[in-house]
Structure 1
Protein backbone atom coordinates (compact mmCIF):
# COMPACT_ATOMS: atom_id res chain seq x y z
CA UNK A 1 0.00 0.00 0.00
CA UNK A 2 1.54 3.34 -1.03
CA UNK A 3 1.59 6.65 0.84
CA UNK A 4 -1.17 8.22 -1.26
CA UNK A 5 -3.69 5.53 -0.33
CA UNK A 6 -2.76 5.80 3.34
CA UNK A 7 -3.22 9.56 3.37
CA UNK A 8 -6.42 9.53 1.32
CA UNK A 9 -8.16 7.82 4.20
CA UNK A 10 -7.88 11.04 6.21
CA UNK A 11 -8.85 13.33 3.31
CA UNK A 12 -5.96 15.60 4.27
CA UNK A 13 -3.94 16.09 1.10
CA UNK A 14 -5.14 19.67 0.43
CA UNK A 15 -4.58 20.67 4.03
CA UNK A 16 -1.11 19.14 4.21
CA UNK A 17 0.01 21.31 1.29
CA UNK A 18 -0.43 24.34 3.54
CA UNK A 19 1.39 22.93 6.56
CA UNK A 20 5.08 23.46 7.20
CA UNK A 21 6.87 20.24 8.22
CA UNK A 22 10.17 21.12 9.94
CA UNK A 23 13.22 19.80 8.06
CA UNK A 24 15.31 17.05 9.58
CA UNK A 25 17.80 18.68 11.99
CA UNK A 26 21.54 18.35 11.39
CA UNK A 27 22.05 16.59 14.73
CA UNK A 28 19.79 13.75 13.61
CA UNK A 29 21.95 13.35 10.51
CA UNK A 30 25.01 13.09 12.76
CA UNK A 31 23.30 10.53 14.99
CA UNK A 32 22.29 8.48 11.98
CA UNK A 33 25.91 8.47 10.82
CA UNK A 34 26.90 7.06 14.23
CA UNK A 35 24.17 4.43 14.02
CA UNK A 36 25.20 3.30 10.54
CA UNK A 37 28.79 2.93 11.68
CA UNK A 38 27.74 -0.13 13.69
CA UNK A 39 28.85 -0.10 17.31
CA UNK A 40 28.11 3.40 18.57
CA UNK A 41 31.15 5.04 20.12
CA UNK A 42 30.04 6.33 23.57
CA UNK A 43 32.74 8.99 23.62
CA UNK A 44 31.68 10.34 20.24
CA UNK A 45 28.05 10.31 21.35
CA UNK A 46 28.96 12.18 24.54
CA UNK A 47 30.89 14.69 22.46
CA UNK A 48 27.86 15.39 20.24
CA UNK A 49 25.56 15.76 23.23
CA UNK A 50 28.05 17.96 25.08
CA UNK A 51 27.80 20.59 22.35
CA UNK A 52 24.27 21.40 23.53
CA UNK A 53 23.62 22.37 27.14
CA UNK A 54 19.89 21.57 26.91
CA UNK A 55 20.62 18.09 25.56
CA UNK A 56 23.21 17.46 28.25
CA UNK A 57 20.75 18.53 30.95
CA UNK A 58 18.02 16.29 29.53
CA UNK A 59 20.31 13.24 29.45
CA UNK A 60 21.40 13.84 33.04
CA UNK A 61 17.78 14.30 34.14
CA UNK A 62 16.82 10.98 32.53
CA UNK A 63 19.78 9.18 34.10
CA UNK A 64 18.74 10.45 37.54
CA UNK A 65 15.08 9.48 37.08
CA UNK A 66 13.68 7.39 39.97
CA UNK A 67 12.50 4.91 37.32
CA UNK A 68 16.10 3.84 36.84
CA UNK A 69 16.96 3.54 40.52
CA UNK A 70 20.53 4.80 40.24
CA UNK A 71 22.46 4.26 43.49
CA UNK A 72 24.27 7.59 43.23
CA UNK A 73 23.79 10.90 41.48
CA UNK A 74 24.85 10.91 37.82
CA UNK A 75 26.85 14.06 37.14
CA UNK A 76 28.34 13.61 33.68
CA UNK A 77 27.06 12.72 30.22
CA UNK A 78 29.57 9.87 30.01
CA UNK A 79 28.17 8.38 33.23
CA UNK A 80 24.64 8.83 31.93
CA UNK A 81 25.45 6.97 28.70
CA UNK A 82 27.01 4.15 30.73
CA UNK A 83 23.86 3.84 32.86
CA UNK A 84 21.22 4.35 30.17
CA UNK A 85 22.99 2.62 27.29
CA UNK A 86 23.85 4.18 23.95
CA UNK A 87 20.57 3.19 22.28
CA UNK A 88 18.44 4.72 25.03
CA UNK A 89 20.46 7.92 24.90
CA UNK A 90 20.07 8.04 21.13
CA UNK A 91 16.29 7.77 21.57
CA UNK A 92 16.32 10.52 24.19
CA UNK A 93 18.35 12.85 21.99
CA UNK A 94 15.89 12.22 19.14
CA UNK A 95 13.09 13.35 21.44
CA UNK A 96 14.94 16.47 22.54
CA UNK A 97 15.69 17.39 18.95
CA UNK A 98 11.99 16.96 18.18
CA UNK A 99 11.13 19.19 21.12
CA UNK A 100 13.56 21.87 19.97
CA UNK A 101 11.64 22.20 16.71
CA UNK A 102 8.52 23.21 18.63
CA UNK A 103 9.96 25.24 21.50
CA UNK A 104 7.94 28.33 20.52
CA UNK A 105 5.21 29.04 21.25
CA UNK A 106 5.02 26.91 24.37
CA UNK A 107 1.81 26.13 26.24
CA UNK A 108 0.62 24.02 29.19
CA UNK A 109 -0.70 21.43 26.73
CA UNK A 110 2.63 21.23 24.94
CA UNK A 111 4.61 20.94 28.17
CA UNK A 112 2.26 18.18 29.33
CA UNK A 113 2.88 16.34 26.06
CA UNK A 114 6.67 16.51 26.47
CA UNK A 115 6.42 15.26 30.06
CA UNK A 116 4.24 12.33 29.02
CA UNK A 117 6.27 11.28 26.00
CA UNK A 118 9.54 11.37 27.92
CA UNK A 119 8.11 9.37 30.82
CA UNK A 120 6.53 6.83 28.48
CA UNK A 121 9.86 6.21 26.78
CA UNK A 122 11.46 5.43 30.14
CA UNK A 123 8.52 3.19 31.03
CA UNK A 124 8.94 1.30 27.75
CA UNK A 125 12.57 0.78 28.69
CA UNK A 126 11.42 -0.80 31.96
CA UNK A 127 8.63 -2.81 30.33
CA UNK A 128 11.11 -4.28 27.87
CA UNK A 129 12.52 -6.33 30.76
CA UNK A 130 9.22 -8.21 30.95
CA UNK A 131 8.71 -8.61 27.21
CA UNK A 132 10.64 -10.88 24.89
CA UNK A 133 11.71 -9.70 21.43
CA UNK A 134 11.35 -6.01 22.25
CA UNK A 135 11.99 -4.00 19.03
CA UNK A 136 15.10 -1.84 19.06
CA UNK A 137 13.16 1.31 18.16
CA UNK A 138 10.47 0.88 20.84
CA UNK A 139 11.68 3.83 22.94
CA UNK A 140 11.89 6.08 19.91
CA UNK A 141 8.38 5.08 18.94
CA UNK A 142 7.10 5.95 22.42
CA UNK A 143 8.66 9.39 21.95
CA UNK A 144 7.50 9.92 18.37
CA UNK A 145 4.07 8.23 18.38
CA UNK A 146 2.40 11.54 19.23
CA UNK A 147 4.74 13.85 17.32
CA UNK A 148 1.78 15.17 15.34
CA UNK A 149 0.39 16.73 18.52
CA UNK A 150 2.93 19.60 18.61
CA UNK A 151 2.16 20.24 14.93
CA UNK A 152 -1.57 20.34 15.68
CA UNK A 153 -0.99 22.71 18.59
CA UNK A 154 1.11 24.94 16.36
CA UNK A 155 -1.36 25.14 13.48
CA UNK A 156 -4.73 25.00 15.23
CA UNK A 157 -5.27 27.53 18.07
CA UNK A 158 -8.19 25.56 19.56
CA UNK A 159 -6.49 22.18 19.43
CA UNK A 160 -5.60 22.26 23.14
CA UNK A 161 -9.36 22.09 23.83
CA UNK A 162 -9.65 19.14 21.48
CA UNK A 163 -6.73 17.45 23.23
CA UNK A 164 -8.49 17.80 26.59
CA UNK A 165 -11.60 16.27 25.05
CA UNK A 166 -9.84 13.28 23.47
CA UNK A 167 -8.04 12.53 26.74
CA UNK A 168 -11.44 11.44 28.06
CA UNK A 169 -12.46 9.35 25.05
CA UNK A 170 -11.74 5.85 23.79
CA UNK A 171 -8.84 5.23 21.45
CA UNK A 172 -10.98 4.52 18.39
CA UNK A 173 -12.70 7.93 18.73
CA UNK A 174 -9.62 10.12 18.97
CA UNK A 175 -8.82 10.53 15.28
CA UNK A 176 -12.49 10.84 14.32
CA UNK A 177 -12.98 13.75 16.74
CA UNK A 178 -9.85 15.52 15.54
CA UNK A 179 -10.82 14.93 11.91
CA UNK A 180 -14.27 16.40 12.46
CA UNK A 181 -12.97 19.50 14.21
CA UNK A 182 -9.75 20.18 12.29
CA UNK A 183 -10.03 18.26 9.00
CA UNK A 184 -7.00 16.15 9.93
CA UNK A 185 -5.62 14.33 12.97
CA UNK A 186 -2.32 14.04 14.80
CA UNK A 187 -1.55 10.52 13.56
CA UNK A 188 -1.48 11.78 9.96
CA UNK A 189 0.72 14.76 10.80
CA UNK A 190 2.99 12.56 12.88
CA UNK A 191 3.33 10.21 9.92
CA UNK A 192 4.25 13.11 7.65
CA UNK A 193 6.87 14.41 10.10
CA UNK A 194 8.39 10.96 10.58
CA UNK A 195 8.61 10.45 6.81
CA UNK A 196 10.18 13.88 6.33
CA UNK A 197 12.79 12.95 8.94
CA UNK A 198 13.53 9.65 7.15
CA UNK A 199 12.29 7.34 9.88
CA UNK A 200 11.92 3.68 8.82
CA UNK A 201 8.78 3.07 6.74
CA UNK A 202 7.27 0.56 9.17
CA UNK A 203 7.92 3.00 12.05
CA UNK A 204 6.06 5.74 10.15
CA UNK A 205 3.11 3.52 9.36
CA UNK A 206 2.88 2.46 13.00
CA UNK A 207 2.48 6.15 13.92
CA UNK A 208 -0.26 6.55 11.33
CA UNK A 209 -2.17 3.39 12.19
CA UNK A 210 -1.65 3.15 15.95
CA UNK A 211 -5.38 3.62 16.62
CA UNK A 212 -6.64 0.99 14.18
CA UNK A 213 -9.21 -0.97 16.14
CA UNK A 214 -8.62 -4.34 14.49
CA UNK A 215 -4.82 -4.28 14.26
CA UNK A 216 -4.40 -6.80 17.08
CA UNK A 217 -7.44 -8.89 16.26
CA UNK A 218 -6.26 -10.24 12.92
CA UNK A 219 -3.16 -10.31 10.76
CA UNK A 220 -2.57 -6.83 9.38
CA UNK A 221 -1.63 -6.41 5.74
CA UNK A 222 0.23 -3.20 6.58
CA UNK A 223 1.81 -3.65 10.01
CA UNK A 224 4.21 -6.45 10.85
CA UNK A 225 5.13 -7.89 14.22
CA UNK A 226 7.75 -5.26 15.05
CA UNK A 227 5.36 -2.35 14.45
CA UNK A 228 2.57 -3.97 16.44
CA UNK A 229 4.91 -4.61 19.36
CA UNK A 230 6.04 -0.98 19.34
CA UNK A 231 2.41 0.18 19.40
CA UNK A 232 1.52 -2.20 22.24
CA UNK A 233 4.53 -1.27 24.37
CA UNK A 234 3.97 2.47 23.94
CA UNK A 235 0.25 2.17 24.69
CA UNK A 236 0.89 0.10 27.82
CA UNK A 237 3.42 2.69 29.00
CA UNK A 238 0.94 5.49 28.36
CA UNK A 239 -1.65 3.62 30.42
CA UNK A 240 0.75 3.46 33.35
CA UNK A 241 1.54 7.16 33.06
CA UNK A 242 -2.11 8.20 32.85
CA UNK A 243 -3.25 6.06 35.79
CA UNK A 244 -0.53 6.84 38.30
CA UNK A 245 -2.99 8.74 40.53
CA UNK A 246 -6.35 7.52 39.17
CA UNK A 247 -6.95 4.04 37.77
CA UNK A 248 -10.02 5.32 35.87
CA UNK A 249 -8.07 8.04 34.04
CA UNK A 250 -7.55 5.95 30.91
CA UNK A 251 -11.02 5.15 29.50
CA UNK A 252 -9.67 3.54 26.34
CA UNK A 253 -7.49 0.88 27.99
CA UNK A 254 -10.30 -1.61 28.63
CA UNK A 255 -11.00 -1.66 24.89
CA UNK A 256 -7.46 -2.10 23.60
CA UNK A 257 -5.41 -3.30 26.58
CA UNK A 258 -6.36 -7.00 26.66
CA UNK A 259 -5.46 -7.57 23.01
CA UNK A 260 -2.19 -5.66 23.34
CA UNK A 261 -1.14 -7.53 26.48
CA UNK A 262 -2.01 -10.81 24.79
CA UNK A 263 0.13 -9.84 21.82
CA UNK A 264 3.02 -9.08 24.18
CA UNK A 265 2.34 -12.36 26.01
CA UNK A 266 1.86 -10.53 29.30
CA UNK A 267 -0.68 -11.86 31.79
CA UNK A 268 -3.09 -9.36 33.29
CA UNK A 269 -1.93 -10.00 36.86
CA UNK A 270 1.71 -9.74 35.85
CA UNK A 271 1.03 -6.44 34.14
CA UNK A 272 -0.98 -5.07 37.06
CA UNK A 273 1.85 -5.94 39.45
CA UNK A 274 4.34 -4.17 37.21
CA UNK A 275 2.00 -1.20 36.85
CA UNK A 276 1.72 -0.89 40.64
CA UNK A 277 5.51 -0.98 40.97
CA UNK A 278 5.88 1.76 38.37
CA UNK A 279 3.19 3.87 40.05
CA UNK A 280 5.02 3.62 43.37
CA UNK A 281 8.26 4.60 41.66
CA UNK A 282 6.74 7.54 39.79
CA UNK A 283 5.09 8.89 42.93
CA UNK A 284 8.09 8.37 45.20
Structure 2
Protein backbone atom coordinates (compact mmCIF):
# COMPACT_ATOMS: atom_id res chain seq x y z
CA UNK A 1 0.00 0.00 0.00
CA UNK A 2 1.31 3.44 -0.95
CA UNK A 3 0.69 4.91 2.46
CA UNK A 4 3.56 7.30 3.17
CA UNK A 5 2.91 11.02 3.14
CA UNK A 6 5.60 11.53 0.48
CA UNK A 7 4.06 8.97 -1.87
CA UNK A 8 0.56 10.33 -1.45
CA UNK A 9 1.68 13.93 -2.00
CA UNK A 10 3.52 12.83 -5.17
CA UNK A 11 0.41 11.01 -6.42
CA UNK A 12 -1.88 13.92 -5.60
CA UNK A 13 0.40 16.25 -7.56
CA UNK A 14 -0.49 19.88 -7.08
CA UNK A 15 -3.69 19.17 -5.13
CA UNK A 16 -3.22 20.68 -1.69
CA UNK A 17 -4.78 19.18 1.44
CA UNK A 18 -7.32 21.70 2.77
CA UNK A 19 -5.79 23.68 5.63
CA UNK A 20 -7.20 23.41 9.13
CA UNK A 21 -9.71 26.31 9.32
CA UNK A 22 -8.37 29.39 11.14
CA UNK A 23 -11.55 29.68 13.23
CA UNK A 24 -11.01 26.11 14.44
CA UNK A 25 -7.53 27.05 15.60
CA UNK A 26 -8.89 30.18 17.32
CA UNK A 27 -11.64 28.25 19.13
CA UNK A 28 -9.19 25.50 20.14
CA UNK A 29 -6.78 28.12 21.50
CA UNK A 30 -9.58 29.62 23.59
CA UNK A 31 -10.75 26.16 24.70
CA UNK A 32 -7.29 25.33 26.03
CA UNK A 33 -7.39 28.25 28.48
CA UNK A 34 -8.14 27.57 32.15
CA UNK A 35 -11.30 29.67 31.86
CA UNK A 36 -12.50 29.80 28.23
CA UNK A 37 -14.49 32.90 27.30
CA UNK A 38 -17.75 31.49 25.94
CA UNK A 39 -18.94 34.98 25.00
CA UNK A 40 -15.87 35.36 22.79
CA UNK A 41 -16.52 31.96 21.20
CA UNK A 42 -20.15 32.93 20.61
CA UNK A 43 -18.96 36.11 18.86
CA UNK A 44 -16.49 34.12 16.72
CA UNK A 45 -19.28 31.81 15.62
CA UNK A 46 -21.81 34.62 15.25
CA UNK A 47 -19.52 36.61 12.94
CA UNK A 48 -19.66 33.82 10.35
CA UNK A 49 -23.22 33.43 8.96
CA UNK A 50 -22.48 29.99 7.48
CA UNK A 51 -21.01 28.72 10.73
CA UNK A 52 -23.88 30.21 12.74
CA UNK A 53 -26.34 28.26 10.61
CA UNK A 54 -24.25 25.08 10.95
CA UNK A 55 -24.09 25.40 14.76
CA UNK A 56 -27.85 25.96 15.08
CA UNK A 57 -28.52 23.06 12.71
CA UNK A 58 -26.33 20.76 14.79
CA UNK A 59 -27.86 21.96 18.07
CA UNK A 60 -31.33 21.07 16.78
CA UNK A 61 -30.32 17.86 14.97
CA UNK A 62 -31.64 14.46 16.10
CA UNK A 63 -28.11 13.58 17.27
CA UNK A 64 -27.80 16.38 19.83
CA UNK A 65 -31.10 18.24 20.26
CA UNK A 66 -32.71 18.85 23.63
CA UNK A 67 -36.43 19.01 24.47
CA UNK A 68 -36.80 22.62 23.33
CA UNK A 69 -35.42 24.12 20.11
CA UNK A 70 -32.34 26.34 20.27
CA UNK A 71 -32.56 29.65 18.41
CA UNK A 72 -29.52 31.74 19.44
CA UNK A 73 -25.77 31.25 19.12
CA UNK A 74 -24.96 31.93 22.82
CA UNK A 75 -27.62 29.39 23.80
CA UNK A 76 -26.23 26.88 21.29
CA UNK A 77 -22.65 27.38 22.51
CA UNK A 78 -23.78 26.99 26.12
CA UNK A 79 -25.84 23.86 25.46
CA UNK A 80 -23.54 22.15 22.95
CA UNK A 81 -20.20 22.84 24.62
CA UNK A 82 -16.89 23.28 22.85
CA UNK A 83 -16.46 19.73 21.58
CA UNK A 84 -19.77 19.78 19.71
CA UNK A 85 -19.14 23.31 18.40
CA UNK A 86 -16.01 21.89 16.77
CA UNK A 87 -18.19 19.27 15.06
CA UNK A 88 -20.16 22.07 13.38
CA UNK A 89 -16.91 23.79 12.33
CA UNK A 90 -15.64 20.51 10.86
CA UNK A 91 -18.90 19.80 9.03
CA UNK A 92 -19.09 23.24 7.42
CA UNK A 93 -15.46 23.64 6.39
CA UNK A 94 -15.06 20.04 5.28
CA UNK A 95 -18.06 20.45 2.97
CA UNK A 96 -16.60 23.68 1.56
CA UNK A 97 -13.04 22.34 1.25
CA UNK A 98 -13.48 21.13 -2.33
CA UNK A 99 -15.25 23.16 -5.00
CA UNK A 100 -16.36 22.10 -8.46
CA UNK A 101 -17.65 23.89 -11.54
CA UNK A 102 -18.94 20.83 -13.43
CA UNK A 103 -22.69 20.46 -12.64
CA UNK A 104 -22.50 16.66 -12.46
CA UNK A 105 -19.56 16.78 -10.04
CA UNK A 106 -21.33 19.40 -7.91
CA UNK A 107 -24.45 17.23 -7.80
CA UNK A 108 -22.35 14.21 -6.77
CA UNK A 109 -20.59 16.20 -4.03
CA UNK A 110 -23.93 17.43 -2.66
CA UNK A 111 -25.13 13.82 -2.34
CA UNK A 112 -21.73 12.75 -1.02
CA UNK A 113 -21.70 15.31 1.83
CA UNK A 114 -25.38 14.65 2.57
CA UNK A 115 -24.52 10.98 3.02
CA UNK A 116 -21.50 11.86 5.18
CA UNK A 117 -23.72 14.03 7.40
CA UNK A 118 -26.37 11.30 7.61
CA UNK A 119 -23.66 8.77 8.50
CA UNK A 120 -22.31 11.11 11.19
CA UNK A 121 -25.78 11.54 12.73
CA UNK A 122 -26.53 7.82 12.64
CA UNK A 123 -23.11 6.97 14.11
CA UNK A 124 -23.59 9.46 16.92
CA UNK A 125 -27.05 8.14 17.76
CA UNK A 126 -25.92 4.50 17.64
CA UNK A 127 -22.95 5.32 19.89
CA UNK A 128 -25.36 6.62 22.54
CA UNK A 129 -26.82 3.11 22.80
CA UNK A 130 -23.37 1.58 23.39
CA UNK A 131 -21.10 1.81 26.43
CA UNK A 132 -17.72 3.49 26.19
CA UNK A 133 -18.09 5.12 22.75
CA UNK A 134 -18.20 8.92 22.56
CA UNK A 135 -21.12 10.15 20.47
CA UNK A 136 -19.08 13.21 19.43
CA UNK A 137 -16.16 11.06 18.27
CA UNK A 138 -18.54 8.73 16.42
CA UNK A 139 -19.99 11.80 14.68
CA UNK A 140 -16.49 12.93 13.64
CA UNK A 141 -15.67 9.46 12.28
CA UNK A 142 -18.89 9.48 10.24
CA UNK A 143 -18.12 12.93 8.87
CA UNK A 144 -14.48 12.34 7.93
CA UNK A 145 -14.33 8.65 6.99
CA UNK A 146 -14.62 9.21 3.22
CA UNK A 147 -13.16 12.74 3.16
CA UNK A 148 -10.33 11.55 0.90
CA UNK A 149 -12.82 10.93 -1.94
CA UNK A 150 -13.35 14.59 -3.00
CA UNK A 151 -9.58 15.19 -2.89
CA UNK A 152 -8.93 12.17 -5.12
CA UNK A 153 -11.73 13.29 -7.44
CA UNK A 154 -9.85 16.54 -8.08
CA UNK A 155 -6.71 14.63 -9.02
CA UNK A 156 -8.43 11.79 -10.93
CA UNK A 157 -11.60 13.30 -12.48
CA UNK A 158 -12.14 10.30 -14.78
CA UNK A 159 -12.14 7.67 -12.00
CA UNK A 160 -15.65 6.59 -10.95
CA UNK A 161 -16.20 7.19 -7.24
CA UNK A 162 -19.83 6.03 -7.17
CA UNK A 163 -18.95 3.41 -4.55
CA UNK A 164 -18.74 6.28 -2.05
CA UNK A 165 -22.53 6.52 -2.34
CA UNK A 166 -23.47 2.92 -3.13
CA UNK A 167 -21.73 0.54 -0.78
CA UNK A 168 -20.96 -2.37 -3.08
CA UNK A 169 -18.24 -4.65 -1.74
CA UNK A 170 -16.80 -2.76 1.21
CA UNK A 171 -13.33 -4.30 0.95
CA UNK A 172 -12.96 -4.25 -2.85
CA UNK A 173 -13.29 -0.44 -3.02
CA UNK A 174 -9.73 0.06 -1.83
CA UNK A 175 -8.33 -2.66 -4.06
CA UNK A 176 -9.81 -0.90 -7.10
CA UNK A 177 -8.42 2.47 -6.03
CA UNK A 178 -4.97 1.02 -5.29
CA UNK A 179 -4.85 -0.70 -8.68
CA UNK A 180 -5.86 2.38 -10.65
CA UNK A 181 -4.66 5.33 -8.55
CA UNK A 182 -1.73 3.89 -6.54
CA UNK A 183 -3.38 5.10 -3.34
CA UNK A 184 -6.86 5.04 -1.76
CA UNK A 185 -9.26 7.45 -0.14
CA UNK A 186 -8.61 6.11 3.37
CA UNK A 187 -4.91 7.01 3.16
CA UNK A 188 -5.73 10.49 1.85
CA UNK A 189 -8.52 10.97 4.42
CA UNK A 190 -6.13 9.93 7.19
CA UNK A 191 -3.66 12.59 6.05
CA UNK A 192 -6.39 15.23 6.04
CA UNK A 193 -7.57 14.20 9.53
CA UNK A 194 -4.02 14.39 10.90
CA UNK A 195 -3.58 17.75 9.15
CA UNK A 196 -6.66 19.02 11.03
CA UNK A 197 -5.37 17.72 14.35
CA UNK A 198 -8.03 15.05 14.93
CA UNK A 199 -7.34 12.49 17.72
CA UNK A 200 -5.09 9.52 16.87
CA UNK A 201 -7.85 6.89 17.25
CA UNK A 202 -10.07 8.76 14.79
CA UNK A 203 -7.20 9.12 12.30
CA UNK A 204 -6.49 5.38 12.58
CA UNK A 205 -10.18 4.60 12.10
CA UNK A 206 -10.22 6.57 8.85
CA UNK A 207 -7.07 4.76 7.67
CA UNK A 208 -8.44 1.25 8.35
CA UNK A 209 -12.16 1.73 7.79
CA UNK A 210 -12.40 -0.61 4.77
CA UNK A 211 -10.20 -3.32 6.31
CA UNK A 212 -12.41 -6.03 7.80
CA UNK A 213 -9.35 -8.01 8.91
CA UNK A 214 -9.29 -5.59 11.82
CA UNK A 215 -12.01 -7.82 13.36
CA UNK A 216 -10.41 -11.18 12.53
CA UNK A 217 -6.64 -10.68 12.70
CA UNK A 218 -5.58 -10.76 16.34
CA UNK A 219 -2.16 -9.39 15.41
CA UNK A 220 -3.70 -6.21 13.94
CA UNK A 221 -2.12 -3.17 15.57
CA UNK A 222 -5.36 -1.15 15.82
CA UNK A 223 -6.74 -0.39 19.27
CA UNK A 224 -10.04 -1.74 20.52
CA UNK A 225 -11.50 1.78 20.28
CA UNK A 226 -10.60 1.91 16.58
CA UNK A 227 -12.41 -1.44 16.12
CA UNK A 228 -15.44 -0.01 17.92
CA UNK A 229 -15.43 3.13 15.77
CA UNK A 230 -15.20 1.04 12.58
CA UNK A 231 -18.03 -1.23 13.78
CA UNK A 232 -20.26 1.78 14.47
CA UNK A 233 -19.25 3.39 11.17
CA UNK A 234 -20.02 0.26 9.15
CA UNK A 235 -23.52 0.08 10.59
CA UNK A 236 -24.11 3.86 10.44
CA UNK A 237 -23.05 4.07 6.82
CA UNK A 238 -25.57 1.39 5.96
CA UNK A 239 -28.30 3.26 7.87
CA UNK A 240 -27.40 6.38 5.86
CA UNK A 241 -27.68 4.38 2.62
CA UNK A 242 -31.14 3.16 3.66
CA UNK A 243 -32.16 6.69 4.68
CA UNK A 244 -31.10 8.07 1.27
CA UNK A 245 -32.81 5.23 -0.62
CA UNK A 246 -29.64 3.50 -1.84
CA UNK A 247 -30.26 0.29 0.13
CA UNK A 248 -33.31 -1.68 1.29
CA UNK A 249 -34.46 -1.41 4.92
CA UNK A 250 -34.65 -5.19 5.26
CA UNK A 251 -30.89 -5.54 4.71
CA UNK A 252 -29.95 -3.67 7.91
CA UNK A 253 -27.76 -5.90 10.03
CA UNK A 254 -27.95 -8.71 7.47
CA UNK A 255 -24.92 -8.11 5.24
CA UNK A 256 -21.78 -10.26 5.82
CA UNK A 257 -19.69 -7.27 6.99
CA UNK A 258 -22.38 -6.38 9.55
CA UNK A 259 -21.80 -9.66 11.38
CA UNK A 260 -18.26 -8.55 12.29
CA UNK A 261 -19.49 -5.17 13.49
CA UNK A 262 -22.39 -6.55 15.52
CA UNK A 263 -20.23 -9.23 17.08
CA UNK A 264 -17.72 -6.60 18.16
CA UNK A 265 -20.28 -4.30 19.78
CA UNK A 266 -22.21 -7.24 21.26
CA UNK A 267 -25.54 -6.62 19.54
CA UNK A 268 -27.83 -9.20 17.92
CA UNK A 269 -29.06 -8.52 14.35
CA UNK A 270 -32.69 -8.22 15.48
CA UNK A 271 -31.75 -5.80 18.25
CA UNK A 272 -29.73 -3.70 15.82
CA UNK A 273 -32.59 -3.71 13.30
CA UNK A 274 -34.96 -2.28 15.93
CA UNK A 275 -32.39 0.30 17.06
CA UNK A 276 -31.72 1.29 13.45
CA UNK A 277 -35.42 1.73 12.72
CA UNK A 278 -35.70 4.03 15.76
CA UNK A 279 -32.70 6.07 14.58
CA UNK A 280 -34.03 6.34 11.04
CA UNK A 281 -37.43 7.35 12.40
CA UNK A 282 -35.86 10.21 14.37
CA UNK A 283 -33.83 11.34 11.35
CA UNK A 284 -36.89 11.31 9.09
CA UNK A 285 -39.02 13.15 11.65
CA UNK A 286 -36.35 15.85 11.97
CA UNK A 287 -36.13 16.45 8.24
CA UNK A 288 -39.87 16.40 7.49
TM-score (norm 2): 0.83
Taking the TM superposition and a 5 Å limit, the aligned residue runs for 1:166-185 are 167-185=166-184
Taking the TM superposition and a 5 Å limit, the aligned residue runs for 1:52-67 are 52-66=48-62
Instruction: Assess if the C-alpha contact under 8 Å between 1:216 and 1:259 holds in 2.
Output: yes
- In 2, the alpha carbon distance for the partners of 1:155 and 1:252 equals 35
The SS at the match of 2:255 is helix
Work out whether 1:283 is the aligned partner of 2:284: yes
The alpha carbon displacement at 1:42 in A equals: 4.1
The SS at the match of 2:215 is coil
Taking the TM superposition and a 5 Å limit, the aligned residue runs for 1:153-164 are 153-159=153-159, 161-164=160-163
- In 1, the alpha carbon distance for the partners of 2:45 and 2:139 equals 18
1:215 is matched with which residue?
A: 214
- In 1, the alpha carbon distance for the partners of 2:250 and 2:19 equals 36
Deviations 1:97-119 (A, max 9, x none): 22232244461111112112222
Residues 148, 234 of structure 1: alpha-carbon distance in 2 compared, 3 angstrom cutoff:
same
1:81 is matched with which residue?
A: 77
- In 2, the alpha carbon distance for the partners of 1:242 and 1:261 equals 18
Deviations 1:216-257 (A, max 9, x none): 123354210222222222222111111134426979971221
Instruction: Assess if the C-alpha contact under 8 Å between 2:239 and 2:252 holds in 1.
Output: no
- In 2, the alpha carbon distance for the partners of 1:178 and 1:43 equals 46
- In 1, the alpha carbon distance for the partners of 2:233 and 2:69 equals 28
After TM superposition, where is structure 1 displaced by more than 6 Å over at least 4 residues in a row?
248-253
Deviations 1:165-188 (A, max 9, x none): 872521101111222333322111
- In 2, the alpha carbon distance for the partners of 1:60 and 1:76 equals 7
Instruction: Assess if the C-alpha contact under 8 Å between 2:127 and 2:133 holds in 1.
Output: yes
For these two proteins, the number of residue pairs brought into alignment is 279
Unmatched runs of 5 consecutive residues or more in structure 2: none
The alpha carbon displacement at 1:128 in A equals: 2.1
Deviations 1:72-100 (A, max 9, x none): 44211233334444322222212212223
The alpha carbon displacement at 1:164 in A equals: 4.6
The alpha carbon displacement at 1:33 in A equals: 1.9
Work out whether 1:102 is the aligned partner of 2:102: no
Residues 268, 250 of structure 1: alpha-carbon distance in 2 compared, 3 angstrom cutoff:
closer
Deviations 1:106-151 (A, max 9, x none): 6111111211222222222211221000146222222111110120
Unmatched runs of 5 consecutive residues or more in structure 1: none
Which shows bigger deviation, 27-36 or 142-151? 27-36
The SS at the match of 1:170 is coil
Give the root-mean-square deviation of aligned CA atoms. Answer: 3.1
TM-score (norm 1): 0.84
- In 1, the alpha carbon distance for the partners of 2:47 and 2:242 equals 37
